[in-house]
Amino acid sequence: MSYKEPLQLSDLPWDDVIFRHIFPLLKVADLCHLQGVSKDFQQLYIDYMCSCEKLDFSECTMTNSSLQKVLVVNCKNLQTLLVGNCGNWFSMGCWQVITQHQSQLRHINTASCWDINDRTLGEFFHKCNKLRVIELNKMELITDTILHYLATNCPHLEHLNVASCWYITDKGLKKVVEYCKVLRILDVRFCPRLTEQYLYSLYLRGINVKSDYSLARMVKRRKHVNNLGINVQI
């Protein structure tokens, strides 16, 4: 009776099985640890990262240097980067690495990543100007200035999430709507400085707005204003 070596993970078809059905289910941190198992796994990791279009670090615990190595050395085809709720380690240096090495991004989520300033985000939007989905929710330092940078550099934007960004106002949002002609989805829940009047005007433009005001309530109030013959400028 002949003896057969036990089947290893690396013996499975890489592109059709591992890269398509197994690795997408693992956290990025686990993939990083996997490469230390053997030379075969190291090559498996490198090949996957080179072809990977989406990385999800959400709620992962990693070091700044580990992320930078992934983004600079390994990922050459990245289009989606999710680092939501990673504010305890996602630093200004990470932003700068993304800006320098991942300018082809189409979707980024940095929810609750608070180590940021106007200048760094301005440089990011200037370089990563192909973005279609931007999620900046729960980033308290987002201001109208940052929305101006975003608007003037990201004309392909379709989906913007700035929920719980307390400092943004109608002025900043108007700039986004003016320059981002294909904007279709806007999440502005828990943004107390935005007015009901302006958000209603966005509904009329066909933008799917998620806000603290219900559409039914806004329509009712608008009809009431019209019935009173009051000319309200929006």
List pLDDT tens digits, range 150-169.
999 999 999 999 999 999 99
Dist. CA 49–CA 70, nearest whole Å: 8
* pLDDT score of 230: 57
pLDDT band, very low/low/confident/very high, at 1 (cuts 50, 70, 90)? very low
What local confidence, expressed as pLDDT, does residue 201 receive?
A: 93
What integer pLDDT is reported at residue 224 of this predicted model?
A: 63
Q: b/e map of 120-138 (b: 16 or more CB within 10 Å)?
A: ebbbbbebbbebbbbbbbb
Name the percent of the chain lying above pLDDT 70. 91
Supply the pTM of this predicted model: 0.85
Please say if the pLDDT value at position 63 is more than 90: no
Kindly report, residue by residue over 21-34, the tens digit of the pLDDT. 998 888 777 888 88
pLDDT tens, 99-143? 999 999 999 999 999 888 999 999 999 999 999 999 999 999 999
How many residues in the chain? 234
Give the separation between CA 71 and CA 103, rounded to whole angstroms: 11
Q: Please tell me the distance from the alpha carbon of residue 189 to that of residue 70, in angstroms, as a whole number.
A: 33
Tens-place pLDDT, residues 78-92: 899 999 998 888 889
Look at residue 107 in the predicted model and tell me its pLDDT. Answer: 98
Residue 64 clears pLDDT 60, i.e. is over it:
yes
Strand pairing class (185-187; 159-161): parallel
Beta bridge partners of 152: none
Q: What is the pLDDT of residues 186-221, one digit of tens each?
A: 999 999 999 999 999 999 999 999 999 877 676 766
